[in-house]
C-alpha cells in the first residue's frame, strides 16, 4: 500500500505539472478538496498550458515512460469510455523511445529461448526500431537456407513496470470507489482490470504471433496483401521472430514512386484491405499506421506489428455493411431501420426522429469535393448520434472507427484527392451480395433447419425442465443455485456500467482524492 501511494503521488505530481491531473477546464465541476490538491501538487513550473487537455495528458504520459505510453495507447482505442477528443490526443502518443543495449537483447533472447544465440542466429544486428514495450533487431537465422528475420524483444523489466503502475492505479481506483459515489458509478476498478488484461495479452509476444498467423490464414488467397511468416521455433513470450520484410514504407511517397509503385493504387489497396478484413473476415489489423505498412517488390501491401487486432462478429459486420451501403445510397430510413433491427436504439425513440438525425450527418457531406469528405468522421458522428439516442457502447465498432481514422489518413497522405467512398463501395456491395443475396438466403435457411433440428433434439429435456419449474412454483417458489444468483448479479453489474463520462478524469481524480486524504 505504501509503495502504491508513493507511486501515485509521483504520477499525480507529474500530471499536475502538465495541468493534466484535474484540468482547469473541469475545475467548476470539481469538489473544493480536488481544487486544493490540484494547487498543492501543481506547485512549480506549469507545462503545456497552451495545449488542449488531451494533448497535455499525452505529454504527461510520455514523460512518465514506456508503461504509461502503452496505457495511453490502450485507452486511445476506447473513445466510448474516455471521450473522442481525449482518445484522439492519446492516439497520437509517440511510441518511439531510445533503444536498450543490444547485449541486453541478446541475453534476453538466449534466456527466453533456452539456447545459445549462435545456435539460432548467425547474425544479430543493432536495433532498427524501438517502441514503448519492445524493440526490433534484424537477424539472420542459422537454418538452411538461411533467412533474414525480424526479432522483436520486450524491454527488460517492462512487466515489472506495468505491474507497479497497474497496482498503483488499482489502489487509486479502490480508494476512489470507497470515498466517491460518482467513482462508484463509473466503476474504475473494473476499468483498471480490463486495461490490465489487455496489457497482459500485448506483453505476451506469442499472442502477437498467433494474431499474425490467423490473419495470414484468413488472407492467404488475397493477391495484393500478405503477412510476414512467424518463426515459431524462435518465438516465446518475450521474443517474436518473423521473416524480414524487404519493402518500401508507405510513408515515403517518393521512394514508392522510385520503386515503380503508384501511390494512388497503394492508397486504394490500404483502404480496401482494411475494409475487406473487417467485413469479410471479421478480423482486422487495428494499428495500420504508416510505420506498420510496406509495399514489397511485387506491389503487395505487407503489414507488420499485430499487437492490436479487432474483431467483428457476423451480425456486427452485417450491421456495418448495411449502414455504409445506406449512407452510400443516402437511404437514411434504411440506416435507421438497421439500428432498430439489431436493437441498438431503444424503441422509446421514434425511428423517424433517428432517421432525421442520420440525415443531418449524411447530407452535409454529399456534393463536396472528395478531399473534404471523411468516412472516418462520418462514422464518428454516427457513434456520437447513437449515444444521444441511448445506444449502448459497442467496443467492436469503436475500434473499427478508430482504425478507419488511421487508414483514411494513410490513404490521404498517398493521394490527397483520394475518394474513400468509391474505394469502399465495391467491397461493401460485394459483401452485401454474398451475405444478403440468394446464396446467403439458402445458407441462412440451412442454419435455420439445423437450429430446428437441435430444438427437436432438445425438446424432451426442455419439457422436463418445464415440469421441474412448475413443481418448484407449486412448492412455494423458484429456487436458484447460488452460482446462478451470482452470475445474474455479475451480468446486471456489467449492464449497469455508465462509462460515458471521460474515464481518465475519474482515474486521475482518484489521485486527487489520495492527495487530499494524505494532505
Q: What residues are annotated to the active site?
A: 287
- Specify the DSSP element, H or E, that contains 130: strand 121-130
Give all strands (DSSP E) within 33-105, no chain letters. none
In sequence order, which residues have a C-beta less than 8 Å from that of residue 295 and are 6 or more positions away?
Answer: 247, 248, 250, 256, 259, 261, 266, 301, 302
SS3 sequence of 205-257: HHHHHHHHHHHHHHCCCCCCEECCCECHHHCCCCEEEEECCCCEECCCHHHHH
Listing DSSP states for 244-296 in one string gives: ----EETT-HHHHHHTT--HHHHHHHHHHHHHHIIIIISEEES---GGGEEE-
Question: How many residues can be counted in the chain?
Answer: 519
The answer to whether 288 and 263 are in contact (CB under 8 A) is: no
C-alpha grid cell for residue 502? 471521460
* Residue 441 DSSP class: H
Dihedral angle at the C-alpha atoms of 120, 121, 126, 130, nearest 10 degrees?
-50
If 0-12 CB within 10 Å is exposed, 13-18 middle and 19+ buried, where does residue 167 land?
middle
Q: Whose CA is closest to 270, among 294, 243, 238, 297?
A: 294
The answer to whether 510 and 172 are in contact (CB under 8 A) is: yes
Place of cell 462508484: 184
Place of cell 517488390: 297
If 0-12 CB within 10 Å is exposed, 13-18 middle and 19+ buried, where does residue 374 land?
middle
Compute the distance between CA of residue 59 and CA of residue 197 in angstroms, rounded to an integer: 25
CB atoms within 10 A of CB 497: 15
The answer to whether 370 and 419 are in contact (CB under 8 A) is: yes
> What distances in angstroms separate CA 195 from CA 72, 86, 112, 198, one per listed residue?
10, 17, 26, 5
The answer to whether 90 and 503 are in contact (CB under 8 A) is: no
Compute the distance between CA of residue 235 and CA of residue 272 in angstroms, rounded to an integer: 31
- Specify the DSSP element, H or E, that contains 429: helix 420-436
C-alpha grid cell for residue 83? 471521450
Amino acid at each position: 500500500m505504501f509503495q502504491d501511494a508513493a507511486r501515485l503521488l509521483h504520477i499525480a505530481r507529474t500530471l499536475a505539472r502538465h495541468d493534466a491531473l484535474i484540468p482547469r477546464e473541469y475545475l467548476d465541476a470539481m469538489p473544493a478538496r480536488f481544487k486544493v490538491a490540484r494547487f498543492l501538487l501543481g506547485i512549480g513550473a506549469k507545462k503545456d498550458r497552451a495545449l488542449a487537455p488531451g494533448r497535455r495528458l499525452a505529454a504527461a504520459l510520455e514523460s512518465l515512460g514506456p508503461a504509461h505510453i502503452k496505457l495511453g495507447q490502450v485507452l486511445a482505442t476506447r473513445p466510448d469510455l474516455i471521450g473522442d477528443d481525449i482518445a484522439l490526443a492519446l492516439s497520437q502518443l509517440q511510441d518511439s523511445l531510445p533503444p536498450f543495449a543490444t547485449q541486453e537483447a541478446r541475453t534476453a533472447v538466449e534466456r527466453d529461448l533456452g539456447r545459445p544465440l549462435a545456435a539460432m542466429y548467425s547474425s544479430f544486428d543493432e536495433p532498427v526500431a524501438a517502441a514503448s514495450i519492445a524493440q526490433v533487431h534484424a537477424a539472420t537465422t542459422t537454418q538452411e537456407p538461411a533467412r533474414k528475420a525480424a526479432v522483436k524483444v520486450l524491454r527488460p523489466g517492462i512487466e515489472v513496470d506495468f505491474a507497479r503502475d497497474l497496482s498503483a492505479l488499482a489502489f487509486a481506483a479502490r480508494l476512489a470507489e470507497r470515498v466517491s459515489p460518482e467513482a462508484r458509478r463509473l466503476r474504475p476498478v473494473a476499468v483498471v482490470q480490463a486495461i490490465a488484461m489487455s496489457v497482459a495479452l500485448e506483453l505476451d509476444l506469442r499472442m502477437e504471433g498467433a494474431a499474425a498467423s490467423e490473419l495470414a490464414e484468413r488472407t492467404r488467397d488475397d493477391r495484393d496483401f500478405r503477412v510476414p511468416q512467424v518463426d515459431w521455433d524462435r518465438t516465446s513470450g518475450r521474443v517474436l521472430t518473423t521473416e524480414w520484410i524487404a519493402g518500401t514504407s508507405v510513408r515515403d511517397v517518393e521512394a514508392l514512386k522510385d520503386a515503380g509503385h503508384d501511390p494512388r493504387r497503394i492508397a486504394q489497396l490500404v483502404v480496401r484491405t482494411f475494409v475487406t478484413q473487417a467485413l469479410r473476415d471479421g478480423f482486422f489489423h487495428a494499428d495500420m499506421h504508416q510505420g506498420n505498412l510496406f509495399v514489397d517488390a511485387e506491389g503487395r501491401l505487407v503489414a507488420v506489428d499485430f499487437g492490436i487486432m479487432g474483431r467483428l462478429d457476423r451480425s456486427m459486420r452485417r450491421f456495418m455493411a448495411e449502414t455504409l451501403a445506406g449512407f452510400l445510397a443516402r437511404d437514411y430510413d434504411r440506416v435507421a431501420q438497421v439500428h432498430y433491427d439489431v436493437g441498438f436504439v431503444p424503441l422509446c425513440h421514434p425511428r423517424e426522429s433517428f432517421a432525421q438525425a442520420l440525415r443531418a450527418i449524411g447530407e452535409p457531406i454529399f456534393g463536396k469535393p472528395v478531399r473534404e469528405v471523411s468516412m472516418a468522421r462520418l462514422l464518428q458522428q454516427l457513434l456520437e448520434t447513437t449515444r444521444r439516442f441511448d445506444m449502448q457502447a459497442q467496443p467492436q465498432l469503436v475500434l473499427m472507427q478508430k482504425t478507419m481514422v488511421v487508414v483514411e489518413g494513410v490513404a490521404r497522405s498517398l493521394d490527397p484527392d483520394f475518394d474513400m467512398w468509391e474505394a469502399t463501395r465495391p467491397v461493401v456491395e460485394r459483401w452485401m451480395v454474398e451475405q444478403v443475396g440468394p446464396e446467403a438466403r439458402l445458407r441462412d435457411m440451412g442454419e435455420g433447419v439445423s437450429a430446428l433440428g437441435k430444438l427437436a433434439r432438445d425438446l424432451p429435456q426442455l419439457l422436463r425442465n418445464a415440469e421441474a419449474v412448475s413443481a418448484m412454483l407449486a412448492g412455494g417458489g423458484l429456487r436458484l443455485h447460488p452460482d446462478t444468483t451470482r452470475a445474474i448479479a455479475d451480468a446486471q453489474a456489467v449492464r449497469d456500467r455508465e462509462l460515458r463520462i471521460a474515464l481518465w478524469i475519474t482515474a486521475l481524480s482518484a489521485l486527487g482524492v489520495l492527495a487530499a486524504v494524505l494532505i
